[in-house]
Structure 1
């Protein structure tokens, strides 16, 4: 009993139980769910949201939020496509430019949040509009096609039978796990989310950590943009609309507290997988997309309620 109670205290416990429950339900209601092709399809579809959610996790752990990730994803994706299609740059240079731009936009958010002391909600909401507008201006509102076939490796390729987007997702999560759990930076992120003023007084460079956090968020959004652009083989200025909400949902379903200081990167991955399984299962069942939004919204509310009640009991 004591061991079970200890497990229940782990922030990943309830997200994992929820994932297993949804998975079993989908297996029972759909004959096509538990097939190799469908499970691979789920993992590939989840990869983009899961990667974006890594940066979102870092932001939420500090008590902030990043609403610009979907727009940054679109802008960096169109820039990569444009550099290859219109300028003739090789894929690796276009990718480097796109990832660098994503990190730069995230760093810009971080500077305003850390040094100008502007609320993360307002700053990233503004960046949502700025990045989306720049993507539409750059493309004229039309997709950019004509990227070289070599570029398809990142969205459609595979290595040893495992699709590239899944491998990239695994790599990002391994790095994020190490960063948040085995480095001073990770401890500082949690400390800032717990009490930023106490963290500052204890000698933590709060502004520097905040800058790095939002730089990571911009970078992970750009990585997701790379995968989607490669999968579609075109730069889509309208890509990523609403993706920030899915990323927040993955973090919340993964057991993170919206006011910061509590959460786990593994929980975020489980949350993203839960959303992916739910979306896929509901699609196989022929459930209307409108009803799907209602169901997902209710699940998120339940997850927040459970997390809030757990924190109340501890206090």
Structure 2
């Protein structure tokens, strides 16, 4: 059994244990209402961004700016639609066109990140950190530091629709996980992304167009983050000037817990999904137990450290076995 598969399966008993602990601590924890409307719905936005970041990490890069796209993308769309009296541009652009514009802006941001990393050979961490700061400033600037509300119905759909009695956010999250997981494992381009993260020089020698693939990966991550931003806006029926701030730390936590390697070329989307689910369960347990929010952040940090140690040990075991053989 490969280390990646072992790490994924190891999370399953951990998740089961967390469910048992939650049931013991709170009688309302193991109910359909709590698991669906709290754990899964609250994890959906995070999960979409985790999928985006996981694909980028597998390709061997980082993108810290995804959290800012979660805020900027819906802010641009809402700002284009709302009248000036409500803090918007006053242009009155149709909602559908504004949503298209928000995805277009996000794709351009992803393309710029990819070009700076591939063409100028700049460090992805520094490039996307600078982009994060830039986008955060733009989001605050166009909103005037205010929260934009009284949104058109088109923006509320992703937060209020409930196909078959289940929030559409859950459906979107599950579909994204299934489609991206299948693509990464079975499609030739998905396998090329793994090759790119495993050894970029070898991937180039094998005929993979690493520059185009890297740019495409960054664009893909940005588009998924825009979707997550629209989902969050629909759920809270507004878009705030600081929307998405601090999200990237939890994103990396879920990815690392799920077995995504920070060195590239390893990990699966299913593992990342398990990481998101585990963090969502932990947060819900802490909330039901009335643990202060500042302790939740500290516990997240501890979980990340434990995950890093576990991933190291999981990778070290097969190396020792190989040496003995």
TM-score computed with the length of structure 1 as normaliser = 0.94
Residue of structure 2 in register with 1:168 after alignment: 172
Give matches, 1:153-302, under 5 Å.
153-302=157-306
Pairwise CA distance, 1:51: 0.2
Residue of structure 2 in register with 1:53 after alignment: 50
- The superposition leaves residues 191-220 of structure 1 with CA deviations (integer Å, 9 ceiling, x where unpaired) of 111111111111111111111111111111
Residue of structure 2 in register with 1:138 after alignment: 142
Preserved contact between residue 80 and residue 235 of structure 1 (Cα < 8 Å): no
Give the whole-Å Cα distance in 1 for the aligned partners of 2:130 and 2:274. 30
Counterpart secondary structure, 2:151: coil
Report the CA distance shift for 1:311/1:98 in structure 2 as closer, same or farther (over 3 A): same
Counterpart secondary structure, 1:12: helix
- The superposition leaves residues 22-46 of structure 1 with CA deviations (integer Å, 9 ceiling, x where unpaired) of 1221112111101122111211100
Residue of structure 2 in register with 1:304 after alignment: 308
Between stretches 44-53 and 33-42, larger displacement belongs to: 33-42
Between stretches 50-59 and 295-304, larger displacement belongs to: 295-304
**Aligned partner (choices 133, 147, 152) of residue 148 of structure 1:** 152
Preserved contact between residue 180 and residue 186 of structure 1 (Cα < 8 Å): yes
**Aligned partner (choices 93, 97, 102) of residue 93 of structure 1:** 97
Preserved contact between residue 11 and residue 256 of structure 1 (Cα < 8 Å): no
- The superposition leaves residues 210-269 of structure 1 with CA deviations (integer Å, 9 ceiling, x where unpaired) of 111111111111001101111222221200011111111111111111111110001111
Residue of structure 2 in register with 1:37 after alignment: 33
- The superposition leaves residues 34-88 of structure 1 with CA deviations (integer Å, 9 ceiling, x where unpaired) of 1122111211100000000111001111221111111111111111111221333
TM-score computed with the length of structure 2 as normaliser = 0.91
Residue of structure 2 in register with 1:125 after alignment: 129
Moved over 3 A (4+): 5-11
Counterpart secondary structure, 1:80: helix
Residue of structure 2 in register with 1:18 after alignment: 14
Give the whole-Å Cα distance in 1 for the aligned partners of 2:232 and 2:211. 32
Matched positions, count: 311
Give the whole-Å Cα distance in 1 for the aligned partners of 2:41 and 2:236. 13
Pairwise CA distance, 1:6: 7.0
Preserved contact between residue 43 and residue 276 of structure 2 (Cα < 8 Å): yes
Counterpart secondary structure, 2:260: coil
Give the whole-Å Cα distance in 1 for the aligned partners of 2:3 and 2:312. 18
Specify every segment of 5 or more residues in structure 2 that has no aligned partner in the other structure, as ranges: 84-90, 320-325
Preserved contact between residue 250 and residue 300 of structure 2 (Cα < 8 Å): no
Pairwise CA distance, 1:299: 1.4
2:84 matched to 1:80?
no
2:113 matched to 1:109?
yes
Report the CA distance shift for 1:9/1:35 in structure 2 as closer, same or farther (over 3 A): closer
- The superposition leaves residues 147-171 of structure 1 with CA deviations (integer Å, 9 ceiling, x where unpaired) of 2134211112211111111111122
Give the whole-Å Cα distance in 1 for the aligned partners of 2:271 and 2:5. 13
